[in-house]
Amino acid sequence: MSYVDDVLALVQKKNASEPEFLQAVEEVLNSLRPVIEANEEKFRKEALLERLTEPERQVKFRVPWVDDNGQVQVNVGYRVQFNSAIGPYKGGIRLHPSVNIGIIKFLGFEQIFKNSLTGLPIGGGKGGSDFDPKGKSDREVMAFCQSFMTELCRHIGADTDVPAGDIGTGAREIGYMFGQYKRIRNLYEGVLTGKGLSYGGSLARKEATGYGLLYLTEEMLKCNGHDIKGKTIVLSGAGNVAIYAAEKAAELGAKVVTMSDSNGWIYDAEGIDLNAIKELKEVKRARLSEYKNYRPNAEYHEGRGVFGVKCDIALPCATQNELLLEDAKQLVANGCIAVAEGANMPTTLDATKYLQRNKVLFAPGKAANAGGVATSALEMSQNSERLSWSFEEVDAKLHDIMVNIFHSLDNAAKKYGAEGDYVAGANIAGFEKVVDAMLAQGVV
Ligand code: NDP
């Protein structure tokens, strides 16, 4: 068997109960075959892929806190420090009831290549908890965040591991976690990104993942002879990534007609009213079903369905495995020309293959949503300098980073005879730098 097949078999055996992690490893290693086969003997001797697929460290801990009724609740916390070959671990904290070690490992594994693609010195990590912030009071969220950080603070630091937001972790949660870190460690340092502007946050960080997604999508379309202006976009999610993706899409002259949350989705033929969405999601923390109160002509549907709406471009921005094979078939039948992933691994493997086979331009999340972590790294730079850059300065750097990412994956795909396969291109471009650093640093 080839080295890739040997390692895939080993990873499956060792992680049999972690389907999302296996899915991520399978996608990455399969697309790296040309590079690995060219160095098969050396990589095998170095056990390079065995090391790459085993986290450097993973921490699992108890998070007890007291709810508003005086009842003690217990959640589980995780931090997976996957790979620090090119810089301190960097990756978000996910707070969602579905969180388990397999999901955190898949996200941490993807993060290695994503962070490498940004061209910035950041390694891969991810963390989270099965705590659900939805429906909790601010005091309960604070109690959870303080307890979570009381343990996590032993494992992180501005030059060690710098967590950020993800699903369920926004400005409020980052603020509570930062406060507790500072209190326990007596250190005012850039240990978290996504901070508020009054205490070390970066302008444009909130917008960065969504804006970056659109910058990369625009470049991908341009290089393939299309203009984003005038295109119809279906978008899933209604959180941080989705809102700012929709904002930038509208600024670039496209029309976003759908958004979704975990209960249902909206269709607004005239284009989504983002002021309404921001008020619903960022201020009231309400459900999308209330969107009709703002726009009576819009439709609200329970369940899933955004990818069945006719569009030119689809931007899945909610969660993993939300764009299935049947959705891919509908998108192709409806004439969709491009899919770019705002979320992490939102498209299943079979759906990705179907889209690529049918010549839909496909930008994988590890490239398309890298704007968030790239801007987090810019926040780290500003914290180290003890300076703040203007919105325009950060946004301009973000734009350049996303355009560069697109060209590095485009070039990597061409170099290995896979022109237009941006999944392979992203994995190869991200992998080459990490591997180089791992080999240089010896057996660690
Ligand atoms: P948010 O928590 O702000 O929003 C998530 C959105 O997706 C919400 O609308 C949520 O609906 C919906 N959603 C979450 N889980 C599910 C589910 N199981 N089924 C259906 N809908 C769901 O998270 P973000 O916008 O920050 O993150 C979205 C995606 O983007 C994630 O995959 C994340 O890993 C990825 N990402 C985020 C980055 C960032 O900077 N924030 C950076 C790079 C990637 P509801 O509110 O009803 O739960």
Ligand 1 atom with minimal separation from the 369 CA:
43
- Alpha carbon distance 189, 348 (integer Å): 39
- Look at residue 201 in the predicted model and tell me its pLDDT: 97
- Look at residue 424 in the predicted model and tell me its pLDDT: 95
Q: Which two tokens stand for residue 17?
A: 């109960």
Contact criterion met (CB below 8 Å) for 368 and 342: yes
How does strand 255-260 pair with strand 264-267?
antiparallel
- Look at residue 126 in the predicted model and tell me its pLDDT: 98
In the block, residue with structure tokens 């007291």 = 66
- Cross-strand pairs, 55: none
- Alpha carbon distance 382, 378 (integer Å): 6
Going by alpha carbons, the residue nearest to atom 20 of ligand 1 is 262
Contact criterion met (CB below 8 Å) for 158 and 191: yes
Going by alpha carbons, the residue nearest to atom 27 of ligand 1 is 167
- Look at residue 264 in the predicted model and tell me its pLDDT: 97
- Alpha carbon distance 2, 359 (integer Å): 29
Q: What is the pLDDT of residues 262-288, one digit of tens each?
A: 999 999 999 999 999 999 999 999 999
Ligand 1 pocket test, pick from 110, 130, 131, 262 with the greatest ligand atom count within 8 Å of Cβ, gives: 262
Q: Which residues surround ligand 1 with Cβ inside 6 Å?
A: 165-168, 209, 237-242, 261-263, 317-319, 342-344, 369, 372
- Alpha carbon distance 234, 436 (integer Å): 39
Centroid of ligand 1 to alpha carbon of 1 (angstroms): 39
- Look at residue 357 in the predicted model and tell me its pLDDT: 98
pTM: 0.95
What residues are labeled active site?
126
Low-confidence ranges of the chain (pLDDT < 50): none
Ligand 1 pocket test, pick from 136, 278, 319 with the greatest ligand atom count within 8 Å of Cβ, gives: 319
- Look at residue 238 in the predicted model and tell me its pLDDT: 97
Give the other-Cβ count within 10 Å of 41's Cβ: 8
Type of residue found at 286: A
Centroid of ligand 1 to alpha carbon of 249 (angstroms): 18
Ligand 1 pocket test, pick from 122, 132, 167, 285 with the greatest ligand atom count within 8 Å of Cβ, gives: 167
Q: What is the pLDDT of residues 190-203, one digit of tens each?
A: 999 999 999 999 99
- Look at residue 147 in the predicted model and tell me its pLDDT: 98
